[in-house]
């Protein structure tokens, strides 16, 4: 398995959207709508082309996609410094516990550090215990609770 930066001309975009749907089914017990699939495809294309976003993928020896991660730069309005944010990270179940998630994260972290971010953050669903455990093993700790108004 190896990690690489996603290029706009690679055939992995639609595969990432399928894995994103798998992630939604695992964590939220729902599938993506057609509109969401289209929006995520556009988001991925935007990340690949933007200097403020990055997509890294994990592929196995047969070039099969086994995971992906997205990171972006967020500008602090007061300090004007950039904060790195890991927006998504997903690994297919067969490759979990094999350091694929760690490898994707460290690749994204390297990119973020090269952008001179002052910190790296990740938002984790309050009900996703396995993701919370992953990020804690990676060195992250709980810092804030994000409260949202229910629709």
CATH number of the domain at 62, please: 3.40.630.30
**Which residues are within 8 A (CB) of 94 and not within 5 positions of it... i.e. 6 or more apart?**
66
Block residue for tokens 């984790």: 124
**What backbone torsions phi and psi does residue 20 show, to the nearest 5 degrees?**
-60, -40
Number of domains in the chain: 1
CB 101 within 8 A of CB 91: yes
User: Structure pTM?
Assistant: 0.91
Q: Is residue 13 part of a domain?
A: yes
Where does 76-143 show beta strands of DSSP type E? 82-91, 120-122
Which residue range forms the structural domain that includes residue 133? 2-137
Which portions of the chain are predicted below pLDDT 70?
A: none
CB 71 within 8 A of CB 53: yes
């Amino acid at each position: 398995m190896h990690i690489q930066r996603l290029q706009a001309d690679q055939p992995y975009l639609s595969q990432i959207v399928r894995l994103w749907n798998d992630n939604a089914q695992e964590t939220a017990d729902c599938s993506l709508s057609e509109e969401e699939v289209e929006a995520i495809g556009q988001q991925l294309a935007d990340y690949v082309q933007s200097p403020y976003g990055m997509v890294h993928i994990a592929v196995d020896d047969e070039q099969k996609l086994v995971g992906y991660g997205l990171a972006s730069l967020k500008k602090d309005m007061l300090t004007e410094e950039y904060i790195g944010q890991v927006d998504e990270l997903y690994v297919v179940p067969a490759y979990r516990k094999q350091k694929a998630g760690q490898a994707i994260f460290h690749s994204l972290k390297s990119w973020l550090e090269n952008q001179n971010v002052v910190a790296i953050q990740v938002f984790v669903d309050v009900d996703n215990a396995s993701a919370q455990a992953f990020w804690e093993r990676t060195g992250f700790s709980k810092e804030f609770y994000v409260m949202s108004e229910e629709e």
